Structure 1
Amino acid sequence: MNHVRTPRFTRTLVVTVAASLAAMGLGACGSAGADSGQEETTIRYQSYAGAVDAFLLADALGEFEGLTLKRVGDITGGPQALQALVSDQTDVGGSAFYGAIAQLVATGAPIKAVIPFYGSNEATNSAVSVLEESDIRTARDLVGRKIAVNTLGANQEAVLDTWFEQQGLSQAEQDKITLVPLPPLNTPEALGSGKVDAAVLSFTAKKQTEAQYPLRTLVRDIDVVGEPYAGGGITLREEFIEKNPKTSRQIVEGVAAAIEFLETHDKQEVFDVYFPYLEEEGYGDYIEPIRANFPGTLGIDAKPVIADEDIQRWVDWLDSRGDIDAEDIDVKDVYTNELNPNA
């Protein structure tokens, strides 16, 4: 399939990251661990506003004893999280789409996905949604229309592209569909007021939007790519892993323990651990949105590991767009399970 897109956010991200790498030098970024002979114990991270974050849950469970977490803002999207990681603003790349990780690795970014962090199943998934009164009922009806996504060049765009291909839309038809990046908080109003004609909504965003407007689902991501599937993972810089092997393992093992706890306990048990921690750490405003919208799962296995096929499906997608040449990348260069206790 020859599916060459016009430049979008992923290409902008690649250029930005390449510039960062050139400015710093591939080996210049990183923590003080190697220079001092001691491992880094202050971990810079970005948090997820209004969601159960397995990274913070790990800290709440006591998995990060001896480490100090330093928050440097909230994650606005996987590509931005990767940019922060590669440019040495953070030490842990928050949950990012495997396709975005693969594309950066293909350009030489020295990063590795280390553990799955989010996915989709029957309990939690994303859906292409329209207002109940809309005349849009098929993929082809979206030609000439606007679709809201949380960010360009990431999981939602990949699912849309795959669905359009499955539904037989030509490249010319697909090029007439406009994707509009919007923060989830702005999407309900944009959809309700007609600024966009459809929106790809996560489980949480769909609940929030349905509270204001009657919706109809056109297709779910699990209808397009199957379920369950892992969409993205936590990422570390290779040099951070090399210089801080014990710290890196503690981070991944801690997140693994938090994921298992979350996936094997009911919501209230998770809240009983997580909410006091959020209050203590100054994230009290996260609590009510989580209580109202958390589906009780991250959409992944209780003991997740990264598999070749998790990466390969999106490498194939990137290749079809002309963003990378699939022959130039080995999916095993994109991830490692060596730090994951479930492997």
Structure 2
Amino acid sequence: MPRIARTLTTALAAAALLLTTAGCGSGDGGTGEGGSVTLTLGDQAGNLQTLATAAGVLEDTDYTVKWAEFEGAAPLFQAVQGGAADTGYAADLPTLQALSGGVPLRAVAALRNDGSGTAILVQEDSDIRTVADLAGRKVVVSSAQGSIAELLLANALEQAGLSYDDVEVQYLLPTDAQAAFASGRIEVWAIFGAYQHGAVEQGGRVLIDGRDGLTSGYGLITATERTLADEHKSAALADVLERLGRAFAWAAEHPEEYARVIQDKNGASPYVAEALARSSYLSFGPVTDEAIAAIQGTADTMHGIGVLDPHVDVAEHVDNAPHGR
């Protein structure tokens, strides 16, 4: 079984694939001579779709866009591997884990944030006050081996002078962990995004987050090799990337409006919506040499502790060609 699936054998059942039309062509046209073209974009917790909707960038395409929504990167990449999505959208480590597991992907765009959207949380009344206090404790990591939350945990432990073997790691999907943390059955939770901010709003305490180099801050949009080899889908992807670039620029310039859309569309509280808008990826573009070097650092670190195996040469899995079309 591919490594990406080892801890999530029921992931696809737990996170059902939802396909919703976001942009429609005429049905008898499309890009080029290939007739109508449908591009299925992988997403996590509606983040990318909400951004595109808020910025209004996918309203007038001559191809159809559908969304494949999941609660975490591992089930998303399982869907990509199974042909249910043309693209992936995840932080650097889960993308590396998918590549290590043999998912045929190429990174076509890089995103970056400040790292604050990933954190290790503890219960408000916990006696854990520093990362060093985690020695001998159980830490729940969402959603699977190779998640961005695990990268934060590994780097935080190293910074505190601990090894990865000094804690007991358990993997749990975010929705399951969210309920367990809320009821007090989980004391330490490494988590990200809306789940993180929601738990903090309900009283969880941030022990440490991914700023100050504890995560690279990089995320990647990836495309399957099959999609890139299809001239019509590849042309549609190039157009989508240009439009998403405009969407990320809009979000950076209109954080309050973006937060309102997150609140209205996703049902988030004002606190969570504002936190998501503040910590989201706001830098977007081709996969630069700087991005490759930073992500390679993530790969090297996680390979060194046995989480990423086989190792990944990041540069071998980059394709910036869609940006030049």
Answer yes or no: is the 8 Å Cα contact 1:84–1:90 preserved in 2. Answer: yes
- 1:91 matched to 2:75? The reply is no
- 1:264 matched to 2:253? The reply is yes
* Residue equivalent to 2:14: none
- 1:308 matched to 2:292? The reply is yes
Amino acid corresponding to residue 250 of structure 2 in structure 1: F
d(CA) in 1 for partners of 2:240, 2:134: 43
d(CA) in 2 for partners of 1:155, 1:65: 33
1:288 to 259, 267, 292: 267
Amino acid corresponding to residue 232 of structure 1 in structure 2: G
Answer yes or no: is the 8 Å Cα contact 2:77–2:103 preserved in 1. Answer: no
Q: Secondary structure at the match of 2:61?
A: coil
* Residue equivalent to 2:309: 324
d(CA) in 2 for partners of 1:70, 1:190: 33
Deviation per residue, 1:234-290 (Å, 9 max, x gap):
21012211213311211211211211111122322x468x58xxxxxxxx9734317
* Residue equivalent to 1:336: 319
d(CA) in 2 for partners of 1:103, 1:58: 30
Answer yes or no: is the 8 Å Cα contact 1:112–1:334 preserved in 2. Answer: yes
1:111 to 105, 116, 120: 105
Higher relative CO (CA 8 A, sep ≥ 6), structure 1 or 2?
A: 1
- After the TM superposition, which residues 18-37 of structure 1 pair with which residues of structure 2 at under 5 Å, given as runs? none
1:78 deviates by 1.1
d(CA) in 2 for partners of 1:225, 1:141: 18
Cα distance change, pair 266–107 in 1 and its aligned pair in 2 (3 A): closer
* Residue equivalent to 2:123: 131
Deviation per residue, 1:25-65 (Å, 9 max, x gap):
xxxxxxxxxxx962762122345446463663388324651
1:117 deviates by 4.3
- 1:167 matched to 2:160? The reply is yes
Q: Secondary structure at the match of 1:112?
A: strand
With normalisation by structure 1, the TM-score equals 0.72
Deviation per residue, 1:111-146 (Å, 9 max, x gap):
11211346334xx42221212211112334223333
Answer yes or no: is the 8 Å Cα contact 1:79–1:100 preserved in 2. Answer: yes
Deviation per residue, 1:214-246 (Å, 9 max, x gap):
x332211114526xx433222101221121331
Answer yes or no: is the 8 Å Cα contact 2:86–2:223 preserved in 1. Answer: yes
d(CA) in 2 for partners of 1:292, 1:51: 16
Amino acid corresponding to residue 253 of structure 1 in structure 2: E
1:65 to 41, 54, 61: 61
Cα distance change, pair 53–231 in 1 and its aligned pair in 2 (3 A): farther
With normalisation by structure 2, the TM-score equals 0.75
Answer yes or no: is the 8 Å Cα contact 2:149–2:192 preserved in 1. Answer: no
Cα distance change, pair 46–39 in 1 and its aligned pair in 2 (3 A): same
1:324 deviates by 3.0
Moved more, 156-165 or 108-117: 108-117
d(CA) in 1 for partners of 2:224, 2:96: 13
* Residue equivalent to 1:79: 74
d(CA) in 2 for partners of 1:180, 1:100: 14
Q: Secondary structure at the match of 1:120?
A: coil
Q: Secondary structure at the match of 2:268?
A: helix
- 1:38 matched to 2:34? The reply is yes
2:229 to 211, 229, 242: 242
Amino acid corresponding to residue 57 of structure 2 in structure 1: L
Identity %: 22
Q: Secondary structure at the match of 1:234?
A: strand
State how many pairs are aligned: 295
RMSD over aligned Cα, in angstroms?
3.5
* Residue equivalent to 1:190: 180
Deviation per residue, 1:181-224 (Å, 9 max, x gap):
1324x5454224331111224353343223332x3322111145
* Residue equivalent to 2:143: 151
Deviation per residue, 1:54-106 (Å, 9 max, x gap):
6633883246511212344x21211221121122111122x223223234434
Answer yes or no: is the 8 Å Cα contact 1:58–1:64 preserved in 2. Answer: no
1:314 deviates by 1.9
Moved over 6 A (4+): 13-16
